[in-house]
Structure 1
Amino acid sequence: MHRLLPGHQYKILGFSPNISPAYRQKLLSLGFLPGSPFTVVRIAPLGDPIEVKARRVSLVLRKKDLALLNIEPMGELQSASQSVAVTAIGVQQRA
C-alpha cells in the first residue's frame, strides 16, 4: 500500500496483471512507462479523482485506475496536506 500525496513523485514499476491490454496501451502512449516518474499534482476534496503529471502530460485518473499501477515513492517536491492510500484491491481516503 502506498500513500499518494500532492507534490510527491512516484516511479512506475509496472502494471497490475488485472489491467486490460487496451487501457495499458493507452497509459503507455500517454507516457506512463515502467521506470518513468510521475507527480501527484492535486487530489479532489473527496479523494477521487487524482491529477497526476507524467512527462509532459497531465491526467486526471480515478483511484481504481491508479491502483492498476505498481509504484514506489521517490520523494517530496512540495508540502502536502492530503493523502490517499492505494492498494492492489482499491483505494481508501486517509486523513
Structure 2
Amino acid sequence: MKMSELKIGDKAEVTAVKAEQAVRRRILDMGLIKGTRFKVLRVAPLGDPMEIFFKGMYLSLRKSEAEGISVHRIGHAGDGVPMSGDREGRSCCGEAL
C-alpha cells in the first residue's frame, strides 16, 4: 500500500522508500526509514499535502512524495494500537503492550 492511500488517523509502518533519488535522500535524512511507525494527522481537502507524526516530529509531504513510500497499515484512530514497539507487541524494554 502507498502512504498516499492512508486516511486521517491511520497508523502505519514504512516498508520501502522508492521515490525519486533527490526526494528519497531527503526523506531518509529526516528519519523516515524502513521500519518507522507513524500516524496520519491531517490531509488537505484535495489530498495534498498530508501531515504525519513520527519520532516526536511533524512532517508534511506532497501526495507525489507519499506515493513513493510503501507502507503497511498497523491500525487506525481509536484502536488502542501504539505507534512504538516491535511487531510482536512488545515495548522497547521487552514488556508486553
Higher normalized strand content (fraction of residues): 1
Q: Please report the TM-score for the alignment, with normalisation by the length of structure 1.
A: 0.70
RMSD between superposed Cα atoms in Å: 1.8
**How many Å apart are 1:78 and its aligned residue?**
3.3
Q: Which residue does 2:58 correspond to in 1? A: 58
Task: Look up the SS of the partner of 1:33 in the other structure.
Answer: coil
Q: What is the CA-CA distance between 1:22 and the residue it aligns to?
A: 2.6
Unaligned regions of 5+ residues in structure 1, if any?
Answer: 80-95
Aligned partner of 2:17 in structure 1 is 15
**Structure 2: unaligned runs, 5 residues or longer:** 80-97
Q: Give the greater-gyration-radius structure (CA).
A: 2
In structure 2, give the amino acid aligned to 1:55.
Answer: K
Deviation at 1:46, TM superposition (A): 2.0
TM (normalized to structure 2)? 0.69
Identity of aligned residues (%): 30
Amino acid at match of 1:11: E
Across the two proteins, how many residue pairs are aligned to each other? 77
Moved over 4 A (4+): none
CA deviation after TM superposition for structure 1 residue 57, in Å: 1.7
Displacement of 1:20 in angstroms is 2.8
